[in-house]
C-alpha cells in the first residue's frame, strides 16, 4: 500500500488504538514508504492533527523494543508529511473527490460507526477509488443478518472480496497461528480433538475494564454484539475447523466458514435460546482501588436499552466431529480478573482403578490470548503418598508478535494478505447464529441477572467459579 487513509481520524478509536498500532508497525520497519492521511468530522487544524500523532506515536518513537533506528526515522517522516482534512463522508461526492487527490494504492480505513461506514460506501462509486484500493471495515459488520448482507452487497460493487478487510483486532496472527500450530502439528492432540474425547470447550473474554467513555457505542451493543457475535465465534471456528491443506487464506477461511454454517445456539432444532444463553449486568462495586458505579448510573447509559455487560451462549457445531459438545462463549466487563482464554475440558477416563485417592479432576488444556500461553492440567501421583492423585499444571509460553493488535491486523492489510480478515459469508453467518438469541433477550424471556463490579460474575454461573 502507498497510502493509509483513516476516516474518523479525530475519533477515540483512532487515537487510542489505531494510530499506536500504525506507529509500532512503521517503527519496526515493516511498512516502508507509507503515507498517512487523516479525515474526520472535527474541524482540526494541522497543529491539532500533529498533536494527536505526537501522543499516539510517542511509545514507538522511543528507542528499544521492536523499534529500529531506521524505523524511527521512517515514522518521523510519516508524521511530518501527514495531513488531515475535515470531511463529511456521508455527503454525496465528498469522499470520492477527496480520494482523487490521494496517491494510490490506498488502504481506506473506516474507523467510524457501522451505520456511517455503510452510508459512506453506498454513495461511493467504483470510479472514485484509486486502482488497488483496499477497504478496511471495523466490527461489527452490520447489525443483523440482513444489514450484513446489504453491506456486503454494497462493498462488492466497489472492490473484489479479497480487497475487503473486515478487521477484528482481537484476531491477531499470534492467536490464529498458535491455535492452528498446536492442533495440526501434534498428532496426540488432533487425534483426540473431537466429541469422543472432549466434554466441552469454553472461550472466555472477561475484563476488569468498564465503559471507558464508550457508552455511546457499548450501550447499544452490549457484551453479546460487542464480543460474542464476532470475536468469540471466530475463535470458536478456528478451534473447531477441519485441518486446512495450507495456511493460504482461501483454505483457512473456507474451513472457518464451514464450521459457522454448521453452528447454532443450542443443539440444532432445539430453538430455545433461554436454555442455552445467559446475561447479566454489573452493579456498583470495587475493582482494585477504583469505585465503580452501577452500570445504569454510568454516564451516557439509557436504562431502556436493557444492555447486558456479561453474556454467555452455548453454541453447538452440528457435524460429525463435534456432535453434542457445547462451545460456551462468555464475555463481560467490570469483572474482578482479566481472563482471556480457551479452555478445552476432556471427558473423564472410563474407569479409575480402585485404590487411588485424591480428586480425579478432568484433564484441561488452557490456551491464553494475551499473554499467549499454554497450560495443561493433569492428575499425577504427587510427592508423598503414591496412591494419592495431585493436580499439576504444565506451562509453556507461545509465540507472540511484538506488534500491538492493530499493528498485526494492519500488517495484513498493507501486505495485501486477507488471512486475518473476516470473509463476507462468515460475517453473515455470525449474525445468523445469534440473531434469534438476541431477539429472545430483547423480548425479556431471558432474565437479566446481576453481579457486583469487581466480582467474578453471577454466583450461579459455573464459569464464574472456575
Active site residues: 231
162 marked ligand binding residue: no
411 marked ligand binding residue: no
SS3 455: coil
226 marked ligand binding residue: yes
H/E run at residue 237: helix 233-240
169 marked ligand binding residue: yes
Taking the C-alpha atoms of residue 398 and residue 310, their distance in angstroms, rounded to an integer, is 28
SS3 307: coil
200 marked ligand binding residue: no
144 marked ligand binding residue: no
CA 411-416-422 angle, to 5 degrees, is: 80
Q: Are 125 and 94 in contact, with CB atoms under 8 Å apart?
A: no
Taking the C-alpha atoms of residue 36 and residue 436, their distance in angstroms, rounded to an integer, is 41
Q: Of 451, 453, 450, 449, which is closest to residue 292 (Cα–Cα)?
A: 453
Q: Are 11 and 84 in contact, with CB atoms under 8 Å apart?
A: no
H/E run at residue 450: strand 448-452
In angstroms, what CA-CA distances link 255 with 28, 169, 170, 248?
Answer: 32, 20, 19, 11
88 marked ligand binding residue: yes
DSSP 244-255: PSSSSHHHHHHH
C-alpha cell at 259: 464450521
Annotated binding site for substrate: 169, 173, 207, 226, 333
Annotated binding site for NADP(+): 41, 88-89, 139
Amino acid at each position: 500500500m502507498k497510502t493509509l487513509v483513516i476516516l474518523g481520524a479525530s475519533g477515540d478509536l483512532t487515537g487510542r488504538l489505531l494510530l499506536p498500532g500504525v506507529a509500532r508497525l512503521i517503527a519496526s520497519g515493516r511498512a516502508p514508504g507509507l503515507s498517512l492521511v487523516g479525515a474526520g468530522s472535527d474541524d482540526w487544524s494541522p497543529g491539532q492533527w500533529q498533536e494527536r500523532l505526537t501522543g499516539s506515536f510517542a511509545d514507538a518513537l522511543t528507542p528499544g523494543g521492536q523499534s529500529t533506528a531506521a524505523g524511527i526515522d521512517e515514522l518521523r517522516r510519516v508524521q511530518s508529511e501527514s495531513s488531515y482534512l475535515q470531511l463529511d463522508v456521508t455527503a454525496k461526492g465528498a469522499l470520492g473527490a477527496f480520494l482523487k487527490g490521494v496517491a494510490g494504492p490506498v488502504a481506506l480505513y473506516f474507523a467510524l460507526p457501522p451505520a456511517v461506514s455503510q452510508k459512506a460506501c453506498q454513495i461511493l462509486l467504483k470510479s472514485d477509488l484509486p486502482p488497488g484500493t483496499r477497504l478496511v471495515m471495523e466490527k461489527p459488520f452490520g447489525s443483523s443478518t440482513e444489514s450484513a448482507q446489504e453491506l456486503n452487497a454494497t462493498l462488492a460493487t466497489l472492490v473484489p472480496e479479497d480487497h475487503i478487510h473486515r478487521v477484528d483486532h482481537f484476531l491477531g496472527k499470534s492467536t490464529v497461528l498458535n491455535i492452528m500450530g498446536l492442533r495440526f502439528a501434534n498428532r496426540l492432540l488432533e487425534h483426540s480433538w473431537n466429541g469422543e474425547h472432549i466434554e466441552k470447550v469454553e472461550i472466555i473474554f472477561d475484563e476488569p475494564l468498564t465503559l471507558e467513555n464508550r457508552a455511546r457505542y457499548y450501550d447499544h451493543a452490549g457484551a453479546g454484539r460487542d464480543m460474542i457475535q464476532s470475536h468469540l465465534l471466530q475463535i470458536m471456528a478456528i478451534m473447531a475447523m477441519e485441518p486446512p491443506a495450507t495456511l493460504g487464506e482461501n483454505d483457512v477461511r473456507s474451513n472457518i466458514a464451514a464450521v459457522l454454517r454448521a453452528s447454532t445456539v443450542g443443539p440444532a432444532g432445539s430453538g430455545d435460546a433461554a436454555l442455552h444463553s445467559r446475561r447479566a449486568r454489573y452493579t456498583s462495586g470495587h475493582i482494585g482501588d477504583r469505585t465503580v458505579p452501577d452500570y445504569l448510573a454510568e454516564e451516557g447509559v439509557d436504562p431502556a436499552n436493557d444492555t447486558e455487560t456479561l453474556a454467555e451462549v452455548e453454541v453447538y457445531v452440528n457435524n460429525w466431529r463435534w456432535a453434542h459438545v457445547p462451545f460456551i462463549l462468555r464475555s463481560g466487563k467490570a469483572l474482578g480478573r482479566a481472563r482471556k482464554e480457551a479452555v478445552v475440558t476432556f471427558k473423564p477416563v472410563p474407569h479409575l482403578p480402585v485404590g487411588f485417592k485424591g480428586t480425579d479432576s478432568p484433564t484441561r488444556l488452557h490456551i491464553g490470548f494475551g499473554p499467549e500461553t499454554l497450560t495443561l492440567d493433569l492428575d499425577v501421583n504427587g510427592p508423598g503418598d503414591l496412591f494419592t492423585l495431585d493436580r499439576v499444571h504444565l506451562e509453556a509460553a507461545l509465540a507472540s508478535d511484538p506488534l500491538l493488535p492493530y499493528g498485526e491486523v494492519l500488517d495484513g492489510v498493507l501486505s495485501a494478505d486477507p488471512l486475518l480478515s473476516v470473509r463476507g459469508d462468515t460475517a453473515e453467518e455470525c449474525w445468523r447464529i445469534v440473531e434469534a438469541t438476541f431477539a429472545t433477550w430483547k423480548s425479556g424471556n431471558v432474565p437479566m441477572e446481576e453481579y457486583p463490579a469487581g466480582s467474578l460474575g453471577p454466583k450461579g454461573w459455573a464459569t464464574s467459579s472456575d
